[in-house]
Structure 1
Amino acid sequence: MAQVTFINKPVTLIGNEVKVGDQAPDFTVLANDLSPVTLKDSEGKVRLFSVVPSLDTGVCDQQTRKFNEAAAELGDNVIIYTVSMDLPFAQRRWCGAAGIDKVVTVSDHRDASFGEAYGVHMKELRLLARSIFVVDENGKVAYVEYVSEGTTHPNYEAALEAVKALSK
């Protein structure tokens, strides 16, 4: 299992670690309008899941803005989700204030379904550990990064290169 700290304190991750080559686990999260979103909803597309503890923090804000900018250049066959435990209403408000219009924010607050399916639910905080997952159009995991310290940035370039390699 991935070893992760948050503000330099070890946290317990609930769920199974996902690895490159695995079939992506299904999940149910909530869209900003409270409708359910599952892995199948984006079947046939390359998916990047940008997982953050909370949009209301500096690194999470920057991470979401970075992927929103990148989304404009990736084409219609790619969808980027930002997954957090933030309430759907707070996500919608944050996106409106930040001008985020290409990344799809989804909330895992109800069941921690994504967090547990991908092994990123931090037990002590009931937040998601910063991580990136790239899933191909057939549901196979092509890239994984569990960021070892939750307050640091992921490797944006490596994640985007993984997406670009799949979307050619």
Structure 2
Amino acid sequence: MATITLKGNPIETSGNLPKVAAKAADFKLVTVDLSEKTLADFAGNKLVLNIFPSVDTGTCAASVRNFNKEASSLKDTKVLCISRDLPFAQARFCGAEGIDNVVMLSDFATGQFGKDYGLEITTGPLANLHSRSIVVIDENGTVIHTEQVTETVDEPNYEAALKAL
């Protein structure tokens, strides 16, 4: 369990992010076209998992925009933006914003991704959503960088995530 804050108020998560050098846990997430994707679907690519509570908040939207901008210049790298938002909300946001360099994935059906990666918020007003986190995975499926943002309303350290690649 990790303790983070929401506007200075403590909230807890279901566990801790995967450790650097660990193999990334598999996942089954839903795309905006309602198909399913697993970790194996991205084999051979470096991955930046941009994980957040909801695309309908300013900070979450900013992280998707920022990674969308950076993703176009990343070689053999996919940016996966993961939340519990419905795929319809993710598609609406991407369409309205012109977001097309990242892969939007939803954990709405089971929340299992949040549990497996230790980032499901378990207390407070955002309970059952995902904490703002970054997990970078190399082309062999090994975790090479993680960040769980301490204050939920703050943006992640984009530079550190990209440098890990």
How far did residue 41 of structure 1 move? Answer: 0.8
Q: Distance in 2 between matches of 1:25 and 1:16?
A: 13
Secondary structure at the aligned position of 2:136 is classed as strand
Match of 1:70 in 2: 70
Counterpart code for 1:63:
S
List alignment gaps of at least 5 residues for structure 2: none
**1:119 & 1:7 partners in 2: Cα distance?**
21
CA contact (8 A) 1:86 1:108 kept: yes
Task: Provide the C-alpha distance between the structure 2 equivalents of 1:4 and 1:27, rounded to a whole number of angstroms.
Answer: 24
Provide the rounded CA distance (Å) in 1 between the counterparts of 2:142 and 2:2. 20
Q: Which residue of 2 aligns with 1:166?
A: none
How far has the Cα of 1:17 moved from its partner?
Answer: 3.0
Letter in 2 for 1:73: S
Task: Name the structure 1 match of 2:134.
Answer: 132
Letter in 2 for 1:57: T
Provide the secondary structure at the position in 1 that maps to 2:50.
Answer: strand
Q: Alignment RMSD, CA only?
A: 1.1
1:44 alignment partner AA: G
Note if 1:113 corresponds to 2:108: no
Q: 1:49: Cα distance to partner?
A: 0.2
Tell me if structure 1 keeps the 8 A contact 2:2–2:15: no
Unaligned regions of 5+ residues in structure 1, if any?
164-168
Aligned residues: 162
Structure 2 length-normalised TM: 0.94
Task: Tell me by how many angstroms 1:33 deviates.
Answer: 1.2
2:63 aligned counterpart, secondary structure: helix
CA contact (8 A) 1:16 1:116 kept: no
User: Does the 8 A contact of 1:46 with 1:134 survive in 2?
Assistant: yes
> Which residue of 2 is the match for residue 99 of structure 1?
98
Q: How far, CA to CA, are the matches of 2:108 and 2:83 in structure 1? A: 7
Equivalence for 2:48: 48
Q: Secondary structure at the match of 1:83?
A: strand
**Superposed, which structure 2 residues align to 1:1-168 within 5 Å?**
1-75=1-75, 77-124=76-123, 125-163=127-165
Q: Which runs of 4+ in 1 moved over 4 A?
A: none
- Partner amino acid for 1:39? L
Identity of aligned residues (%): 44
Displacement of 1:16 after TM fit? 4.6
Per the TM alignment, residue 12 of structure 1 is displaced from its structure 2 partner at its CA by 2.2
Q: CA deviation at 1:15?
A: 4.0
